[in-house]
Amino acid sequence: MAQQEDVFKKIVSHCKEYGFVFPSSDIYDGLGAVYDYGQNGVELKNNIKQYWWQSMVLLHENIVGIDAAIFMHPTTWKASGHVDAFNDPLIDNRDSKKRYRADVLIEDQLAKYEDKIQKEIEKAQKRFGDAFDEAQFRATNARVLENQEKFDALHKRYQEVMNAEGGIDLEGMKQIILDEGIVCPISGTRNWTDVRQFNLMFKTEMGSTADGASTIYLRPETAQGIFVNYLNVQKTGRMKLPFGIAQIGKAFRNEIVARQFIFRMREFEQMEMQFFIKPGTELDWFAKWKETRMKWHQNLGFGAENYRFHDHDKLAHYANAATDIEFHMPFGFKEVEGIHSRTNFDLSQHAKYSGKKIEYFDPETNESYTPYVIETSIGVDRMFLSIMCHSYEEQQLPDGQTRTVLHLPAALAPVKLAVFPLTKKDGMPEKAQEIINDLRFHFNCKYEEKDQIGKRYRRMDAIGCPYCVTVDQQTLEDNTVTLRDRDTMEQRRVAISELRGIIEDKVNITSLLKKLL
């Protein structure tokens, strides 16, 4: 685990050192849980967005895109339930003055019991080897039984307070924290305040106060921009059910526990698609979208074992199925995408609050009804992080050296081809530029002439550039270059005229999209 944490720290510093991700307002020492994407980061991020957008809008005739404004009428958030219920339960430690999410403190305590059980199992596994029977050990070992009992009791109490009638039982939550003897990790004390609800939406004002300013919110999800445009798109696009609306855009949440770099941010980007369907068909569509989305992830070639579904036991009152797609990050399996069967909750709420009829007239049955919705919702930044974590490698080379390489899928890499003149003379730089001038219309190319070739290769490895080309004396004679592959480091001599044909297919998003069909 400690080793994994070290790797994660290295990935974070690599992101900064190579122009992928910087802390926001870095010269002022950053801003908590807000980040800027640098020259390479923005290219990778744009490629992720393109892969998602095209897989939705290009590959599905019945999915169209929109780009709704971040600011929305304040009633939107009343109707969606965010004003009343988009809260985290918070608790402060009076000694350290640190603020925590009460539910996270309790979940960490549950994880501690699980860890203790796991450690006992691992110890016994080592001791008994192949003869080890885990089920029997769990059922008989005193320490495991004791921790399991504590886990079950706490889990039961936690479920009760979270699902109390009328919302979370805040007093009950505090009592659990006290009874479990949970201490503040900073002060080490149990001097806790009461638990209070804290709304995660950022507020601002629109218009001057004299005009009668109104409080508006920075959207905490892009989905509502789709729901309020359902009628506009359905009518103007003459869309027939089932159909989807896709959107990519910024979302904002005043996260209290902002952890793990770009995993939990206060300003982030979502790629959401709402798929409108006939009521009664939702569980079939839910299963279909689960499969489609998992295929999209696994298509990147990171190995099926690094993904899993986490089906929700506890559903929001309006949902009748929900799952997360989790990816194996260095800090465990974590949610990257949510897939939710949201019934007709959102459209019905907007109909109620706006007074407009938001329905679909089904020409096949001559009926009007409020469509049901399957939502797929993925965070661009989490996707970015999962790609970075999986691609990063400190590789030992046969000659004893090491290199840091990002094995990014070529179609997502920020730079596809780097072109180096071997020396800065004899017309080599001009020849290299000529190659770039020809290829830059087809994919992103970069010219590099500084330092010796080995160092230039390393710099390109570190940003995940899949191909490097070197122009040398022979190039000037026969128009061939050496083409080096990032992953195998193999070099081969190819004609300049062949470069586009060799590279283009592998580095364009189309190469990924074709594998989805």
Residues that bind ligand GAP (CB under 6 A): 221, 223, 253, 255, 264-265, 268, 270, 272, 335-338, 375, 377-379, 381-382
Q: Least distance (Å) from ligand GAP to the CB of residue 274?
A: 9
Q: Least distance (Å) from ligand GAP to the CB of residue 108?
A: 18
SS3 395: strand
Please answer whether residues 423 and 473 qualify as being in contact, where contact means their C-beta atoms are separated by less than 8 angstroms.
no
Residue 326, phi then psi, degrees to nearest 5: -105, 145
Q: Least distance (Å) from ligand GAP to the CB of residue 379?
A: 2
* Rounded Cα gap, residues 211 and 469, in angstroms: 62
Q: Which is nearer to ligand GAP, 309 or 361 (CB)?
A: 309
Q: Which is nearer to ligand GAP, 325 or 496 (CB)?
A: 325
Q: Least distance (Å) from ligand GAP to the CB of residue 271?
A: 9
* Rounded Cα gap, residues 413 and 71, in angstroms: 33
From first CA to last CA, the distance across the chain in angstroms is 38
DSSP-derived secondary structure letter, 39: H
Q: Which residues pair with 406 in a beta bridge?
A: 392
* Rounded Cα gap, residues 307 and 311, in angstroms: 13
Please answer whether residues 335 and 385 qualify as being in contact, where contact means their C-beta atoms are separated by less than 8 angstroms.
no
Q: Which is nearer to ligand GAP, 192 or 345 (CB)?
A: 345
Q: Which is nearer to ligand GAP, 264 or 290 (CB)?
A: 264
In single-letter form, the type of residue at position 415 comes to V
Q: Least distance (Å) from ligand GAP to the CB of residue 20?
A: 16
In 3D space, the residue among 511, 449, 510, 458 whose CA is nearest the CA of residue 484 turns out to be: 458
Q: Which residue is nearest to ligand GAP (CB)?
A: 379
H-type alpha helices, 263-404:
282-298, 345-354, 380-391
In single-letter form, the type of residue at position 246 comes to A
Q: Least distance (Å) from ligand GAP to the CB of residue 512?
A: 20
Q: Least distance (Å) from ligand GAP to the CB of residue 485?
A: 32
Q: Which is nearer to ligand GAP, 88 or 180 (CB)?
A: 88
Q: Which is nearer to ligand GAP, 174 or 264 (CB)?
A: 264
Q: Which is nearer to ligand GAP, 92 or 255 (CB)?
A: 255
H-type alpha helices, 129-165:
134-140, 142-162
